[in-house]
Amino acid sequence: MDKHYDDEVLRVEDLTVYYETAEGTAKAVNNLDLVVRKGKTVGLVGETGSGKTTTALSILRLVPDPPGVIKSGKIILDGMDIFTLTEGEMDMVRGYHASMIFQDPMTALNPLMTVGDQIAETLRIHEGLNKADSVAKAQEMLKIVGIPPERAKEYPHQFSGGMKQRVVIAIALACSPKLMIADEPTTALDVTIQAQVLREMKQLKENSDMSMIMITHDLGIIAQMCDEVAVIYAGRIIEYGELREVFKDTKHPYTQGLLHSTIKVQDRRGHLDPIDGTVPSLNKLPEGCRFHPRCKYATEECKRRMPELIEIEPGHYSRCLMAEKGE
């Protein structure tokens, strides 16, 4: 993925992040490259432990240190090399240039502040609004995400799970960031509320022409929300391309396994074909292709050599020896 675009909002190059623990070194992200363009949504999909959240935290320089260590890489966000910025400068970047919706709204909100004050605080810090104007805009943001403005004076415990998530979205959108990172934003919600929240997020993104990274293990959400897909396994992108190409002409056995593990409405048998085995421990990654212990197509060469991420078709990349050989 070495192509450069004039409308890039984010470029991640050769990102490597380890967690140094008493049990050993966990290689969470390994030589990862990623590009997000203006107005586009890129989905990061993979099983738990694949490195999705660590990638997101790295973009905002929020990897906990210790134990996290960014070993190498370059991240250009809205034209800024974030690894050259001071912590004070990063505080201004977070929320204004890029925002993040965290998995659990229960822990993302301050229980001692009203929801209106939490949105207004972001506006005062990043946009320099006075108290009256920030409160007025906070109420406007609540209205945008479907919450009556008069509820701005209430505290998080007075809201349902779905409402809390909408408040978190309102905080993240308050300063109209160039990039939104949504980390499993509907995990804690029931199916009906999930659909409502995703619909609102998509509409808000389109209205503001912002870019988004959608992190999830749910391929249904990827299909609904994303323009491009990056499939991650053991800290590496193993397939990348436009949504339709990746779903219709899959070029990696792991992506095939994810698709086959998803139950289809038209399949009345209700039969799932799961991927055998589990994601390898990040402390003991296998040699060669990281997926070979679970891959039914694995050869001896797969056990010895790490495949490169190569362009199989225009804009469609795969990290697989079979794909390299056109098989």
- Domain with 201 in it: what CATH number? 3.40.50.300
Q: In terms of residue numbers, what domain contains 226?
A: 8-97+177-324
Task: Answer with the residue of higher pLDDT: 77 or 189.
Answer: 77
Cα three-residue angle 91-92-96, rounded to 5 degrees: 120
Q: Give the per-residue pLDDT at 49.
A: 87
Task: Encode burial over 139-162: b for 16+ CB neighbours within 10 A, e otherwise.
Answer: bebbebbebebebbebebeebeeb
- Min mean pLDDT across 77-86, 183-192, 237-246, 261-270 is at 261-270
- Percent of the chain scored above 70 by pLDDT? 94
The reply to whether 243 falls in a domain is: yes
Is there a domain that residue 115 lies in? no
In a domain, 65, yes or no: yes
Average pLDDT in the 216-225 region?
88
Q: What is the reported pLDDT for 166?
A: 87
Domain assignment of residue 102, yes or no: no
Reduce the DSSP state of residue 324 to 3 states and report it: helix
How sure is the predictor about 274, in pLDDT bands with cuts at 50, 70 and 90?
confident
Does 220 map to a domain? yes
pLDDT digits (tens, 9 = 90+) for 167-176: 998 898 888 8
Provide the domain count of the chain: 1
Q: What is the arithmetic mean of pLDDT over 105-129?
A: 91
Higher-confidence residue of 268 and 192: namely: 192
In sequence order, the 6+-apart residues with CB closer than 8 A to the CB of 29 are 15, 16, 17, 51, 54, 55, 58, 235
| The pLDDT of residue 265 is above 60 | no
pLDDT band, residue 266 (cuts 50/70/90): low
* Whether pLDDT at 248 is above 60: yes
pLDDT for the residue numbered 255? 93
Tokens of 150: 């008069």
Alpha-carbon distance of 100 to 80, in angstroms, equals: 18
pLDDT (average), residues 280-290: 91
* pLDDT higher than 90, residue 77: yes
DSSP state at residue 94: B
Q: 267 in a domain, yes or no?
A: yes
Average pLDDT over residues 60-88: 94
Q: Burial level of 208, CB count in 10 A (0-12/13-18/19+)?
A: middle
Report yes or no: 41 and 209 within 8 Å, Cβ to Cβ. Answer: no
Handedness of CA 12, 16, 21, 26 (dihedral sign): positive
Mean pLDDT, rounded, for 19-23: 89
292 part of a folded domain:
yes
Q: Specify the pTM.
A: 0.88
Any domain includes 141: no
Helices (H) and strands (E) in the chain, counts: 12, 12
In terms of phi and psi (left: phi > 0; alpha: psi -120 to 50; beta: otherwise), the region of 257 is alpha
Q: Which residue has the tokens 């299909």?
A: 223
| Helix, strand, or coil (residue 29) | strand
Position 310 confidence tier, pLDDT thresholds 50, 70, 90? very high
Identify the band that residue 327 occupies on the pLDDT scale cut at 50, 70 and 90.
Answer: low
Q: Cα 168 from chain centroid?
A: 16
Contact present, 307 and 289 (Cβ < 8 Å): yes
Ramachandran assignment for 176, one of left (phi > 0), alpha (psi -120 to 50 degrees), beta (any other):
left
Interval 252-271 mean pLDDT: 74
| CA distances (Å), origin 184, targets 101, 133, 239, 251, 284 | 8, 32, 20, 25, 26
> For position 209, what pLDDT does the model report?
83
The yes-or-no verdict on residue 221 having pLDDT over 60 is yes
Torsion of CA 301, 304, 308, 314, to 10 degrees: 20
User: Which residue has better confidence, 189 or 18?
Assistant: 18
